[in-house]
């Protein structure tokens, strides 16, 4: 498709040469402050060219008209660009526009010749003036179906159509021709013609609408100067609710949109409450109240990401709307994402990074701020415990992988902007930002952030502008901090090494280690907690010793009469970014006594330490499992239950994958699923715990009794008092039946699909098909994934990838291994990177043994042409596979 247009563009250029004094012909470059770089004819924008263009044009405003008619594939657009040409010294100005049909280009009231290559329009500067220019481009644009650009979605059951924009980092030019880079900020005037029953949502509230037969014409006022990647245009027959946020003089109209088909499942009160709580915090924290008038939130169908901070019209994934009741943890996740996106309104949308290399700061800051907000004005108990289990653990995990990297990296083009977007950029970035207020003082941090907002509002910045403001407010130089944390990869571990004489502590050292590949040892302040335990009474903290450790070994001073502790935790209160390894004595203490530590935050870290100990092979899989089975039933914290139940799902996977080597694992698997089922029965009715146990049971179900239970529940022959078996849970039961090839699985699945022919029903119907242990079905699906381009939407493919080979079906995976590997090669060759990456991410090792590792290494060798992000997924699989092999060996 692109290559055809390519040759057409060349042909047009040759014609032009004959007629004009060739705009395409090489021409002497006039002298100027910057040489004109050659622009790559590609899907991405290079930093070098963006830098040149930022010096070439400025003072930009857009008048954008879009007409959405009945066409399923195209829309009509016109954009009038006003800009100043700063140095009329280059041959061309280029305007980004992807895969469209250009109809006319008018420069300063005269039609002009132009070239278009499917990626950008080139206009010879001889048609322009030094100073102000007006350029109008009429074109026909294409809707996207991959979630990026201007996405069009049609609901299969109702036929309703919805469109939404999703532009970061370089997809706004799929909607309209413009200068698509974050440091060319512009104001926007928008008007849209759309079907009369639709809502049209953008950065401002509309000035008015006018009926035009079957259509309505929406007119929006001029926006502030913003980067194009956050310019929003969402439209469709949305259902919506509205409410005002009022605080003193300040009034912000709030609206919440969802497609009609999901409206009944939205807990509107939660959305508005969480939004108001976030405004309470951010309006005060940033020193300047929200500046963009209204605030809309749009739950968008077939949305690829969690959410996106489009200016005053944030988009959210539909997974935030659950058809079952929500646990506190799930409600907190929603509050967190609402808050994260709102933080971007200031940090990112008002003050914007100059280039994508500082995207990490944008995301890390919003991640950190959302937890700060939750802990200040939110309604949840312990948001920082969630930060510890979700954000910090993600960072620790990623930082120990062979694929880890420094937080700050150069980004040569927009194609690479998201290549390293992972637990390092989000998780580690947010974790090290969290250290900063401790390091420079909370008030200084806040003052620095406020000054940063004040000095750079509506402008662009780099990291040094941010650290400069923090240094100025605190008087502390941040150069060393930047070098140590942002420019060096790798995670350190610490362990307490202590000895006692009689009943007194005689020596205490902190031992620091680093991974071989990243040998940097760091210096950090920690708080060492010393505890004693006696039978049937809570752990007693006998000392908390703040220490600045550095190097391999740090000797710790302590009062001479300190009692010999039973347990030491060297990162009390989670001050440091470091993984804790428990010493052997403390680990043994914990096995028996974890529940005697009454502090929830500390206990959260202790549970994590036991999981880490198993992954580090300090304890065996059986030891870990028996520890959990003995203690989890009495655990009161839902947060801990939630995070431990995720670890139990991995445990079950390990048990399936190592089965070939060890017969006793079948027994352990059954023990785990029986345990989950029993706890589900014992859980208090209608409690969060009951929901968490249900979710765990459906994931670890492995025996024929489990299949029978699922069948009985589905048929309504049994119930779980207090738990409603709603539509989403019924699908979970059907996954169990299908995975186990139950006699009635297929028939019951079809009946269910008739009853739930919704978008979500279709995803689950596909999942049920993919999970069936049937070679022919799986082979057909693999073939479809590889060769049948238009058969599945993005979300459907993802659902199939996820369910195709559960750990219980490694035998089938082995049989189909050549097809599984060929499918990856086909995706690498023919499909967009995101799909290949998702497939690679869901790939499973066919066993925890050396042969399987070898075959994966072979696949990596054969995938050298793949995008680095796909190879990265494979390398992570290989490293995790190695760990699985080691766990299996440790067990025998």
The footprint of Zn ion (CB under 5 A) covers 363, 366
Residue among 450, 443, 403 nearest 422 (CA): 403
Residue whose CB is less far from Zn ion, 314 or 887 = 314
- Rounded to whole angstroms, the Cα distance separating 277 from 339 reads 9
CB-based contact 89:118 (threshold 8 Å): no
DSSP string, 2-26: HHHHHHHHHHHHHHHHHHTT-SSS-
Residue whose CB is less far from Zn ion, 261 or 363 = 363
Residue whose CB is less far from Zn ion, 363 or 834 = 363
Q: How far is the CB of 118 from Zn ion (least distance, A)?
A: 30
- Rounded to whole angstroms, the Cα distance separating 737 from 726 reads 17
Burial of 304 (0-12, 13-18, 19+ CB in 10 A): middle
Residue whose CB is less far from Zn ion, 336 or 579 = 336
In the three-class reduction of DSSP (H, G, I as helix; E, B as strand; rest coil), residue 523 is classed as: coil
Residue whose CB is less far from Zn ion, 57 or 366 = 366
Query: Please, which residues bridge with residue 313 across strands?
Result: 296
Residue among 77, 89, 103, 116 nearest 35 (CA): 89
Residue whose CB is less far from Zn ion, 420 or 645 = 420
In the three-class reduction of DSSP (H, G, I as helix; E, B as strand; rest coil), residue 751 is classed as: helix
DSSP string, 565-609: PSEEETTGGG-SSSEE---HHHHHHHHHHGGG---HHHHHHHHHH
Residue whose CB is less far from Zn ion, 363 or 469 = 363
Distance set, CA 201 to CA 207, 297, 668 (Å): 12, 10, 54
Rounded (5°) CA angle 225-364-448: 70
Residue whose CB is less far from Zn ion, 363 or 408 = 363
Residue whose CB is less far from Zn ion, 363 or 566 = 363
DSSP 90: S
Q: How far is the CB of 339 from Zn ion (least distance, A)?
A: 11
Residue number closest to Zn ion, CB atom: 366
- Rounded to whole angstroms, the Cα distance separating 630 from 675 reads 10
Q: How far is the CB of 340 from Zn ion (least distance, A)?
A: 5
Q: How far is the CB of 173 from Zn ion (least distance, A)?
A: 21
- Rounded to whole angstroms, the Cα distance separating 662 from 433 reads 45
- Rounded to whole angstroms, the Cα distance separating 352 from 431 reads 21
Residue whose CB is less far from Zn ion, 74 or 304 = 304
SS3 sequence, 666-708? HHHHHHHHHHHHHHHHHCCCCCHHHHHHHHHHHHHCCCHHHHH
Residue among 809, 806, 836 nearest 821 (CA): 836
Q: How far is the CB of 233 from Zn ion (least distance, A)?
A: 20
Q: How far is the CB of 372 from Zn ion (least distance, A)?
A: 15
User: Can you list the positions of beta strands (E) in 301-359?
Assistant: 307-308, 313-317, 352-353
Burial of 18 (0-12, 13-18, 19+ CB in 10 A): exposed
Q: How far is the CB of 309 from Zn ion (least distance, A)?
A: 6
Residue among 701, 672, 697 nearest 683 (CA): 697
Residue whose CB is less far from Zn ion, 313 or 871 = 313
SS3 sequence, 176-209? CCECCCCCCCEEEEEEEEEECCCEEECCCCCCEE
Residue whose CB is less far from Zn ion, 169 or 761 = 169
- Rounded to whole angstroms, the Cα distance separating 654 from 845 reads 11
Tally Cβ neighbours within 10 Å of residue 788. 11
Residue whose CB is less far from Zn ion, 427 or 565 = 427
CB-based contact 68:163 (threshold 8 Å): yes
Q: How far is the CB of 227 from Zn ion (least distance, A)?
A: 14
DSSP string, 20-87: TT-SSS--PPPP-SS--PPPP-SSS-BHHHHHHHHHHEEEEEEEEEEE--S-SSEEEEEEEEEEEES-
Residue whose CB is less far from Zn ion, 363 or 846 = 363
Residue whose CB is less far from Zn ion, 363 or 612 = 363
In the three-class reduction of DSSP (H, G, I as helix; E, B as strand; rest coil), residue 804 is classed as: coil
User: Both tokens of residue 728?
Assistant: 């989403």
Q: How far is the CB of 308 from Zn ion (least distance, A)?
A: 8
Q: How far is the CB of 343 from Zn ion (least distance, A)?
A: 8
Q: How far is the CB of 307 from Zn ion (least distance, A)?
A: 8
Residue entry with tokens 């800009």: 83
Residue whose CB is less far from Zn ion, 361 or 828 = 361
Residue whose CB is less far from Zn ion, 364 or 579 = 364
Residue whose CB is less far from Zn ion, 363 or 759 = 363
Q: How far is the CB of 262 from Zn ion (least distance, A)?
A: 23
Q: How far is the CB of 176 from Zn ion (least distance, A)?
A: 23
- Rounded to whole angstroms, the Cα distance separating 132 from 129 reads 7
Upper half-sphere CA count for residue 407 (Cβ side, 13 Å):
29
User: Both tokens of residue 227?
Assistant: 């980067």
Which residues neighbour 431 within 8 Å (Cβ) at sequence distance 6 or greater?
391, 392, 395, 577
């Amino acid at each position: 498709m692109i290559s055809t247009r390519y040759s057409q563009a060349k042909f047009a250029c040759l014609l032009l040469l004959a007629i004009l004094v060739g705009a395409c012909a090489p021409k002497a470059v006039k002298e100027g402050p910057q040489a004109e770089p050659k622009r790559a004819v590609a899907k991405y924008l290079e930093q070098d060219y963006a830098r040149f263009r930022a010096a070439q044009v400025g003072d930009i405003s857009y008048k954008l008209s879009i007409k959405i008619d009945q066409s399923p594939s195209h829309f009509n657009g016109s954009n009038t660009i006003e800009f100043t040409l700063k140095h009329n010294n280059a041959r061309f100005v280029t305007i980004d526009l992807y895969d469209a049909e250009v109809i006319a280009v008018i420069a300063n009231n005269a039609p002009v010749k132009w070239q278009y290559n499917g990626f950008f329009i080139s206009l010879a500067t001889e048609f322009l003036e030094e100073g102000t220019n007006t350029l109008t481009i009429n074109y026909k644009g294409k809707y996207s179906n991959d979630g990026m650009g201007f996405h069009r979605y049609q609901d299969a059951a109702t036929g309703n159509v919805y469109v939404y924009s999703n532009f970061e980092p370089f997809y706004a030019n799929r909607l309209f021709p413009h200068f698509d880079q974050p440091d060319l900020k512009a104001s926007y005037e928008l008007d849209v013609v759309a079907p009369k029953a639709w809502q049209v949502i953008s950065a401002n509230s509309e000035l008015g609408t006018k009926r035009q037969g079957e259509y309505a014409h929406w007119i929006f006022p001029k926006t502030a100067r913003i980067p194009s990647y956050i310019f929003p245009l969402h439209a469709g027959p949305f259902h919506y609710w509205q409410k005002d946020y009022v605080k003193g003089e300040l009034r912000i109209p709030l609206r919440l949109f969802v497609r009609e088909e999901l409206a009944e499942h939205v807990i509107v009160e939660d959305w508005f409450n969480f939004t108001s709580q976030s405004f309470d915090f951010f309006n005060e924290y940033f020193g300047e109240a929200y500046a963009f008038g209204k605030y809309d939130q749009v739950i968008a169908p077939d949305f690829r990401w969690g959410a996106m901070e489009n200016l005053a019209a944030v988009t959210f994934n539909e997974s935030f709307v659950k058809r079952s009741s929500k646990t506190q943890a799930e409600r907190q996740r929603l509050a967190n994402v609402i808050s994260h996106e709102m933080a971007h309104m200031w940090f990112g949308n008002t003050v914007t990074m100059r280039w994508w290399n500082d995207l990490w700061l944008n995301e890390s800051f919003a991640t950190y701020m959302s937890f700060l907000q939750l802990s200040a004005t939110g309604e949840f108990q312990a948001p920082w415990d969630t930060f510890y289990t979700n954000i910090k653990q993600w960072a620790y995990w990623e930082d120990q992988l062979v694929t880890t990297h420094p937080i700050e990296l150069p980004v040569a083009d927009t194609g690479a902007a998201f290549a390293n977007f992972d637990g390092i950029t989000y998780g580690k970035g947010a974790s090290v930002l969290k250290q900063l207020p401790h390091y420079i003082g909370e008030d200084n941090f806040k003052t620095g952030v406020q000054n940063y907002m004040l000095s750079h509002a509506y402008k662009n910045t780099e990291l040094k502008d941010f650290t400069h403001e923090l240094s100025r407010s605190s008087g502390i130089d941040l150069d060393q901090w930047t070098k140590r944390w942002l420019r060096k990869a790798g995670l350190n571990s610490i362990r307490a090494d202590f000895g006692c004489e009689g009943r007194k502590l005689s020596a205490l050292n902190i031992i620091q280690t680093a991974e071989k590949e990243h040998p940097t040892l760091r210096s950090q302040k920690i708080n060492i907690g010393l505890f004693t335990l006696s039978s049937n009474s809570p752990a007693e903290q006998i000392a908390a010793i703040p220490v600045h450790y550095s190097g391999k070994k740090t000797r710790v001073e302590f009062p001479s009469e300190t009692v010999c502790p039973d347990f030491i935790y060297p990162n009390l209160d989670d001050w440091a970014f470091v993984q804790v390894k428990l010493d052997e004595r403390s680990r043994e203490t914990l096995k028996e006594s974890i529940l005697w530590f009454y502090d929830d935050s500390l206990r959260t870290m202790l549970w994590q330490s036991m999981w880490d100990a198993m992954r580090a092979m300090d304890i065996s899989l059986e030891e870990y499992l028996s520890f959990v089975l003995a203690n989890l039933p009495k655990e009161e914290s839902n947060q801990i239950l939630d995070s431990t139940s995720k670890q139990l799902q991995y445990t079950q996977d390990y048990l399936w994958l190592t089965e070939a080597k060890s017969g006793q694992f079948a027994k352990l698997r059954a023990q785990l699923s029986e345990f989950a089922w029993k706890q589900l029965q014992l859980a208090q009715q209608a409690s969060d715990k009951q929901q968490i146990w249900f979710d765990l049971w459906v994931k670890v179900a492995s025996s024929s009794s489990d299949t029978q239970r699922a069948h009985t529940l589905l048929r309504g022959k049994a119930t779980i008092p207090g738990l409603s078996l709603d539509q989403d849970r019924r699908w979970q039961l059907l996954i169990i039946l299908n995975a186990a090839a139950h006699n009635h699985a297929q028939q019951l699945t079809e009946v269910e699909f008739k009853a739930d022919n919704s978008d979500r029903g279709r995803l689950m119907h596909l999942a049920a098909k993919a999970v069936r242990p049937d070679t022919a079905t799986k082979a057909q699906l693999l073939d479809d994934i590889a060769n049948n381009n238009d058969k599945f939407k993005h979300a459907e493919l993802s659902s199939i990838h996820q369910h195709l080979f559960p750990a219980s079906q490694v035998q089938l995976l082995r049989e189909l291994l050549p097809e599984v590997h060929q499918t990856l090669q086909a995706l690498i060759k023919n499909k967009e990177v995101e799909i290949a990456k998702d497939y690679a991410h869901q790939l499973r090792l066919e066993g925890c043994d050396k042969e399987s590792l070898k075959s994966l290494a072979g696949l990596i060798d054969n995938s050298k042409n793949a995008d680095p992000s796909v190879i990265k997924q494979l390398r992570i699989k290989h490293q995790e596979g190695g760990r699985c092999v080691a766990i299996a060996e440790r067990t025998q």
